[in-house]
Amino acid sequence: MAHCLRIQQLRPAAPRLHAPNQGQSRCQRCCDQILSLQRAAGNALFAYPYGHTSRYLLEEYWPNFAHEHGTIGAFTCEPALVTPSTSCFEIPRMVLGMDWQTPDELPILGR
């Protein structure tokens, strides 16, 4: 999956994307590179490098260019739980070491 790849493998890296010409070309190249590194085709999940995203990506690029990139879900580094209202392009994740270090520190439903 994308979040298992080293950041250096995702070239060119874009710290923040705010316009169609930036988002479409850079994200498409990252998605293409991720797909080329995968052994099994059909994995359509993306993890934002360093967890950063932008309103443009969330509201325009991901939903309106799905026919080009094929991505169905994208993960941020926002430490939160997924809820029914969570956007499929802004899925939170809790990063080991940054947000928790032992199983007791990991927030899990029902605790």
The more confidently predicted of residues 96 and 88 is: 88
- The Cα 85–Cα 92 span in angstroms is 12
Asked whether the predicted pLDDT for residue 49 surpasses 50, the reply is yes
- Is residue 20 within 8 Å of residue 56, measured between CB atoms? yes
Closest of 92, 18, 13 to residue 55, by C-alpha: 18
Q: Model confidence at 69, in pLDDT bands (50, 70, 90)?
A: confident
- The Cα 98–Cα 31 span in angstroms is 25
The predicted model scores a pTM of 0.58
